[in-house]
Amino acid sequence: MKFNIALLAGDGIGPEVIDQAVKVSDAVAKKFGHEITWKPALTGAAAIDAVGEPYPDETHEICLASDAVLFGAIGHPRFDNDPSAKVRPEQGLLKMRKKLGLFANVRPTFTFPSLIDKSPLKKERIEGTDLVFLRELTGGIYFGEKGRRDGGETAYDNCVYTREEVQRLAKKGFELAMTRSKKLCCVDKANVLETSRLWRETVQAMEKDYPEVEVSYEFVDAVAMRLVQWPNSYDVLITENLFGDILTDEASVISGSMGLMPSASMGSDIALFEPIHGSYPQATGLNIANPLATVLSAAMMFETAFNLPNEGKAIRDVVNKSLAEGIVTEDLADGGKAYGTKEVGDWLAKNI
């Protein structure tokens, strides 16, 4: 098959980890007889510097004309430390999610047997963890009206959800649960927030359409606690944008390193694949960042965007092999030999 893939490397370590995912994807394509045409496009601080806009129209056009988008990371400290900056890299990410209609963000958390001792959590707590967050990505407090009043002395961010936004996300959650162990947890704060009450009411009304799915409703603060106590008691979790942002960072610790977890964002026709970690500016250009989250995002791309499970499995297998053989970056080296970002990528591509 032939694919066009938009390649949005972004900022910080983005370009370095993206390079490895490209190498590995090309190796898989060669092995299985596919042809990939990569379409690089600007985003984030890199795009602000080049054209003054973090998600330029030209980048959007390239994404729309592609079969999938592979994304690195965006963000730069010079904007984080300047609250008055008018244009920020993150605005590009939010604009891209909205304009591409990516309302469902799939963030799995699983453990790797060879890394089970690398997790800061006790082995017996995390063994067998295999859960997926479905984070709503184009609504809630991220996109509600925000601003200042009283001469700047008061600030507000509104959290808004429509029933339809909840339904379309929850539908994906129920469908995913049906392909897994048929357990769905709706994470909210319905004891306080009106939007959460709408979430709960909407999901409750959908239960009858999926009689086999066992649905639980839990408050986000309790989930934050249970997630690190009993992660393997969860399967599919659905939640709104901000809760999902926070809980998926928390969940990533279970696997042992933030540099390991991939994600997929979907909704309309086009899907986007990216590591869940950020741009890690301190590591930029040092060849130390872990490329596996991006490489595994490419695996998700083959599996879900192109419906090619064997190609995805080839990537997952070689990643597992690299971990078992200790071909790892410094975050996982544990005092042993640490390989560079590029060296890990080369090893994976060669061993595909």
Q: What positions carry a catalytic annotation?
A: 142, 189, 221, 245, 249
Alpha-carbon distance 329 to 207, whole Å? 44
Nearer to Mn ion, 165 or 245 (CB): 245
Dihedral angle sign, alpha carbons of residues 214, 218, 224, 225: negative
Tell me: is residue 221 an annotated ligand-binding position. yes
Site for ligand IPM in 234-253 (CB under 6 A): 245
Tell me: is residue 245 an annotated ligand-binding position. yes
Q: Which range binds Mn ion by CB under 5 A, 120-128, 218-226, 241-249, 298-306?
A: 241-249
Site for ligand IPM in 91-120 (CB under 6 A): 93
Tokens representing 275 are 């590591």
Q: Name the residue among 326, 327, 265, 332 with its Cα closest to residue 300.
A: 265
Selected from 67, 136, 240, 245, the binder of Mn ion by CB under 5 A is 245
Selected from 15, 75, 92, 231, the binder of ligand IPM by CB under 6 A is 75
What Å distances lie between residue 257 and 105, 110, 112, 309, CA to CA? 20, 11, 11, 25
**Can you give the length of the chain in residues?**
352
Nearer to ligand IPM, 27 or 300 (CB): 300
Given ligand IPM, Mn ion, none, residue 75, with its beta carbon under 5 to 8 Å by kind, binds: ligand IPM
90 binds ligand IPM (CB under 6 A): yes
Q: Shortest distance, CB of residue 248 to Mn ion, whole angstroms?
A: 7
Closest residue by beta carbon to Mn ion: 245
Tokens representing 149 are 């009043």
β-bridge partners, 34: none
Q: Shortest distance, CB of residue 312 to Mn ion, whole angstroms?
A: 24
CB atoms within 10 A of CB 42: 22
Alpha-carbon distance 102 to 173, whole Å? 15
Given Mn ion, ligand IPM, none, residue 207, with its beta carbon under 5 to 8 Å by kind, binds: none
Nearer to Mn ion, 136 or 311 (CB): 136
Q: Name the residue among 41, 40, 84, 72 with its Cα closest to residue 59.
A: 41
Given ligand IPM, Mn ion, none, residue 29, with its beta carbon under 5 to 8 Å by kind, binds: none
274 binds Mn ion (CB under 5 A): no
Helix boundaries (H) for 5-162: 14-32, 44-51, 57-64, 77-80, 89-99, 123-126
Dihedral angle sign, alpha carbons of residues 179, 184, 188, 194: positive
Q: Shortest distance, CB of residue 295 to ligand IPM, whole angstroms?
A: 18
Tell me: is residue 135 an annotated ligand-binding position. yes
Q: Shortest distance, CB of residue 267 to ligand IPM, whole angstroms?
A: 15
Half-sphere exposure of 306 (CA within 13 A, CB side): 28
Nearer to Mn ion, 245 or 274 (CB): 245
Q: Which residues are annotated as a binding site?
A: 97, 107, 135, 221, 245, 249
Binding site for Mn ion (CB under 5 A): 245
Q: Which residues are annotated as a binding site for substrate?
A: 97, 107, 135, 221
